[in-house]
A and B are shown apart, each in its own frame.
Chain A
Amino acid sequence: MDGSEATRPDLGPLVAEWRAAIGDEHVITHRHQLRTYESDGLLQYAVIPGAVLLPGSTAEVQAVVRSCHRAGVPWVARGAGSGLSGGATPVADGVLISLNRMRRILEVDLDNQRVAVEPGVTNVAVSQAVGPDHFYPPDPSSQIVCTIGGNVAENSGGAHCFKYGFTTNYVTGLELVLPDGEVVQVGGKELDPPGYDLVGAFVGSEGTLGIATKVWLRVVPKPEAIRTLVAFFGSTSQAGEVVSEIVAGGIVPGAIEMMDNLSIRAAEDYSRAGYPPDAGAALVVELDGSEAECSARFEQVVGICEQAGADSIRVARDEAEREVIWKARKAAFAAMGRVAPNYYVQDSVIPRTRLAEVLGRIEELAREYDVRVANVFHAGDGNLHPLVCYDGRKEGQAERAEECAGQIVKACVDAGGSITGEHGVGIDKKRYMPAMFSDADLGVFQRLRCAFDPEQRANPGKVMPTPRLCGEVPGPYRRHPLEQAGLAERF
């Protein structure tokens, strides 16, 4: 490839340096090839990066980050680009660092229930590597494509997170290339290593603190038994009551997922899973654990659904029936294409007890903005995924839908919730950050950022609603010695 293809003239001299460091074929500068990387899973945002670099090892990541550091070039890390908040959207005056060549599983240490992987390994590959007796619980629906590096950056979740927790509960160690090009290891296979929990601080930092080049994960034994049912109700509030009662009964289901009528109809059209198209709500409940515990609890769940007046309950008798039940739930997103050509997915969270009230508010907003909103969500942890449907070809619809989506986010925050449960803030939700955090809160986030990346070259323009500077660390203010003399009495 020819160096003159670099889109930004001032990256030119660096291109040669990168080619020497990671190989000609791993430095992409042709405009039409760069276009492949202009967006992540959120296609509304598209930026063509100055270059795309594909390092193949920690040393190569270090070499390119170091050279960016020296030259003052900002960069964005990218895994599979399946993110839904624009987190991996490139910056025009910088480079995109794709971790896709780093996809080796480095070590499977089942005796210690740990796996060490490179960041480009897909989520599903981890469970495959530790089967059949173990699994890796955080299971985003995108698990076939999304990478562990992306999961770490977003603290991704999935259907089984209510019981099992999120990515952050499973990462025990990280090798990081910091924005100045230093390589550090924080944590490892062990728990509670000495010092601050920088693993915990890094997970969920959305690519703004550095690049994870090696990740140690905890894996757990597969449950002995799994029991799945789907129950249909007249309304989402009725199904919501059932969720509350299950939880109040001391039951912690492996998964508990709800779909409203619009998503049931769309998914049924698509998946033919046999969901009644007139049902107001479908509730998928899955229990897992020991045989004895599962059986006892499952009867309790069936009882609660019956008492609450479920129209029908379908219990999976075998793995094939279980898959059919899940098919509709998993098809919900893809099926939305049949309802409308475009949609916004929101990712807000509410306290579970406010479910009925917030869903009511969402209905009101849908009427007010004259859009259709389908709800498919992780009911156990209150993580709503309202899908605001629209037709981008029709004048004004996209704007209306976006505004409606914004109002939904606000309603969730007002109910004591969060703007994002698993997709991250990225570019898309940074404008909502002030709804949740004060200026002082944001200022403290910035302190962490500045400790890792004082020049803010890592994924600039993401997460924080407005740019902030780092500044020098202020020296400790000292009172005049005379003032200090009175100190002992003052306290």
Chain B
Amino acid sequence: MAVATAEGVVDALRRAGEDGTPVRFRGGGTKLGWAANRGEVPVEISMAGLDRILEHNVGDLTAVLEAGVPLARAQAAFAEADQMLSIDPPDGGATVGGIVAAGDSGPLRSRYGGVRDLVVGIKVALSDGTVARAGGKVIKNVAGYDLAKLFAGSLGTLGAILEVTVRLHPLPPATATAAGGTRDRAVLGRAVSKLSHAPLEHMGLDVRWGGGDGAVLARFGGAAAREQAEAAARMLANEGVEAQVVEDDDAIWRVQREGQRSPRWAVARISARQTDLPAVFAATDRLGGRLAGRAPLGLCWVKLEDRSPQEADAAIDELRRDYMVTVLDAPPDLGADHWGRLDPGARELMRRVRERFDPAGVCNPGAAP
């Protein structure tokens, strides 16, 4: 159902809570194909009406956004002041609230952190009609529990995110990317490790792997972007990866981000470590996938193209033997669970948290950990 205002969302959620009717919140609708959102729910509450940029405090580098603001629109507004919200997942019309709820991220994460690190305040609605805020409007604040982090990545299972306050960063005046390729997994692993440990201030250090071929992308921004990219290219060359410096680099990164999504095939996010990368590349080849990843973070997205749901399930099972894997995009017949294995003690604690926030158990119940 579409509601135009925050009051409408609060009211619809409260009634669902009273009735015990499961609900799901809909932002841009870009992640309804995720494994977590597979189950049918009788009521969908659209956040599209909550689309106001409530504040953009240019001098303070903060902004207050309603949950339904499309990320692209917010970025366009911030760019007018040479600022950005350092969150750049593959977007496709995603809303800020949806991205926070999904805990989605892109290449900027390696430098600026994830949504958990950039949301400094949050306003939420719970299934018993409670509306509450946590955090604040300043970038530094330790008063009260950090509920923004709890809601980031909670997939709408604790309540509705109505509003977020975010920290912004200056938009770099120029960018440049050192891009190189190799077919040797170990060489690529060593090269990105070298860059991850070097005192270069990249604003993105990504890898790509698939079909026995790999690439590294190291992006720099600022007053000396080109010099830094050249220094990175030299380092890569020393590690046996020939690299070029590209100044007009937006397109390269758009393609890289798209590696995290698929309208048709399963996409698994692997929470690995830096040193796992060569092994994860090998697994990607073995399972016939394509990988896009954040080298310093060890986070990798593996797209299982041209795999039947059964094959994809088997591939995910195999990955889960060695890594923590979250299933994002999922074709309808895929069996794999979104979260996969969790430590039983941690899962029990999560269950207790959810029971307190959503005692009616109506908020996107299928996605609860």
Residues on A lying within 8 angstroms of B by beta carbon are: 110-114, 133-134, 154-155, 157, 161-162, 165-166, 168-169, 178, 182-186, 189-201, 203-205, 221-224, 244, 247-248, 250-252, 289-290, 292-293, 295-297, 300, 349-353, 378, 381-383, 416-425, 429, 433, 436-438, 440-445, 447-452, 463, 473-479, 483-484, 487-488, 490-491
Residues of A within 8 A of B149 (CB): 168, 197, 199-201, 203
Interface pick from B88-96, B133-141, B211-219, B242-250: B133-141
B150 to chain A, nearest CB (A): 5
- On whether the beta carbons of A184 and B345 are closer than 8 Å, the reply is yes
Question: What are 28 of the A-B contact pairs (CB < 8 Å)?
Answer: A112-B275, A114-B273, A190-B298, A191-B271, A191-B299, A192-B299, A194-B338, A196-B158, A196-B369, A200-B150, A201-B145, A204-B142, A290-B227, A351-B138, A353-B57, A417-B141, A422-B142, A437-B134, A438-B132, A441-B132, A444-B124, A445-B145, A447-B357, A452-B349, A452-B352, A473-B356, A477-B360, A478-B19
- On whether the beta carbons of B343 and A477 are closer than 8 Å, the reply is no
**Among B57, B117, B142, B153, residue most surrounded by chain A Cβ atoms (within 10 Å):** B142
Answer yes or no: B254 CB below 8 A from chain A CBs. no
B90 to chain A, nearest CB (A): 16
- On whether the beta carbons of A290 and B271 are closer than 8 Å, the reply is no
Q: B342: which of A134, A194, A451, A483 is its contact (CB, 8 Å)?
A: A194
- On whether the beta carbons of B143 and A252 are closer than 8 Å, the reply is no
Q: How far does the alpha carbon of A191 sit from the alpha carbon of B300 in the complex, in Å? A: 11
- Contact A444 B18, CB 8 Å, known A293-B201, A382-B140, A422-B142: no
- On whether the beta carbons of B199 and A290 are closer than 8 Å, the reply is yes
- On whether the beta carbons of A445 and B144 are closer than 8 Å, the reply is yes
Interface pick from B26-34, B168-176, B258-266, B311-319: B168-176
Answer yes or no: B339 CB below 8 A from chain A CBs. yes
Residues of B within 8 A of A433 (CB): 143-144
- On whether the beta carbons of B133 and A193 are closer than 8 Å, the reply is no
- On whether the beta carbons of A440 and B132 are closer than 8 Å, the reply is yes
**Among A190, A423, A440, A442, residue most surrounded by chain B Cβ atoms (within 10 Å):** A190
Q: How far does the alpha carbon of A296 sit from the alpha carbon of B220 in the complex, in Å? A: 15
Of all chain B residues, the one with the shortest Cβ separation from A208 is B145
- Contact A293 B223, CB 8 Å, known A133-B197, A419-B143: yes
Q: How far does the alpha carbon of A421 sit from the alpha carbon of B138 in the complex, in Å? A: 9
Q: B355: which of A221, A289, A473 is its contact (CB, 8 Å)?
A: A473
Residues of B within 8 A of A350 (CB): 138
Answer yes or no: B126 CB below 8 A from chain A CBs. yes
- On whether the beta carbons of A205 and B145 are closer than 8 Å, the reply is yes
- On whether the beta carbons of B170 and A250 are closer than 8 Å, the reply is yes
Q: A165: which of B113, B150, B349 is its contact (CB, 8 Å)?
A: B113
Residues of A within 8 A of B196 (CB): 113
A69 to chain B, nearest CB (A): 15
Answer yes or no: B255 CB below 8 A from chain A CBs. no
Answer yes or no: B235 CB below 8 A from chain A CBs. no
- On whether the beta carbons of B133 and A221 are closer than 8 Å, the reply is no
Residues of B within 8 A of A190 (CB): 271-273, 298, 324
Q: A191: which of B126, B298, B340, B353 is its contact (CB, 8 Å)?
A: B298
Q: B142: which of A155, A197, A447 is its contact (CB, 8 Å)?
A: A155
- On whether the beta carbons of A198 and B140 are closer than 8 Å, the reply is no
Interface pairs A-B: 6 shortest CB-CB: A200-B149, A250-B170, A292-B224, A184-B345, A195-B369, A296-B223
B242 to chain A, nearest CB (A): 22
- On whether the beta carbons of A437 and B369 are closer than 8 Å, the reply is no
A356 to chain B, nearest CB (A): 12
Contact with A along B152-189 (1 / 0, CB 8 A): 11100010000000000111110000000000000000
Residues of A within 8 A of B343 (CB): 184-186
- On whether the beta carbons of B150 and A197 are closer than 8 Å, the reply is yes
Of all chain B residues, the one with the shortest Cβ separation from A435 is B143
Residues of B within 8 A of A191 (CB): 114, 271, 297-299
- On whether the beta carbons of A195 and B356 are closer than 8 Å, the reply is no
Q: How far does the alpha carbon of A382 sit from the alpha carbon of B140 in the complex, in Å? A: 8
- On whether the beta carbons of B222 and A293 are closer than 8 Å, the reply is yes
- Contact A479 B19, CB 8 Å, known A169-B113, A290-B228: yes
Q: A289: which of B137, B153, B201 is its contact (CB, 8 Å)?
A: B201
B16 to chain A, nearest CB (A): 8
**Among B130, B271, B341, residue most surrounded by chain A Cβ atoms (within 10 Å):** B271
B272 to chain A, nearest CB (A): 7
- On whether the beta carbons of B114 and A192 are closer than 8 Å, the reply is yes
Answer yes or no: B359 CB below 8 A from chain A CBs. yes
- On whether the beta carbons of A441 and B133 are closer than 8 Å, the reply is yes
Residues of A within 8 A of B73 (CB): none
Residues of A within 8 A of B200 (CB): 224, 290
- On whether the beta carbons of A420 and B349 are closer than 8 Å, the reply is no
- On whether the beta carbons of B136 and A193 are closer than 8 Å, the reply is no
Residues of B within 8 A of A161 (CB): 140
Answer yes or no: B305 CB below 8 A from chain A CBs. no
Beyond the given A169-B113, A194-B271, could you list 20 further A-B residue pairs with CB under 8 A, ordered by the A residue number?
A165-B113, A190-B324, A191-B298, A192-B299, A194-B369, A197-B149, A197-B152, A200-B150, A201-B145, A204-B146, A222-B199, A418-B136, A418-B142, A418-B143, A420-B142, A450-B356, A452-B349, A463-B144, A476-B361, A477-B360
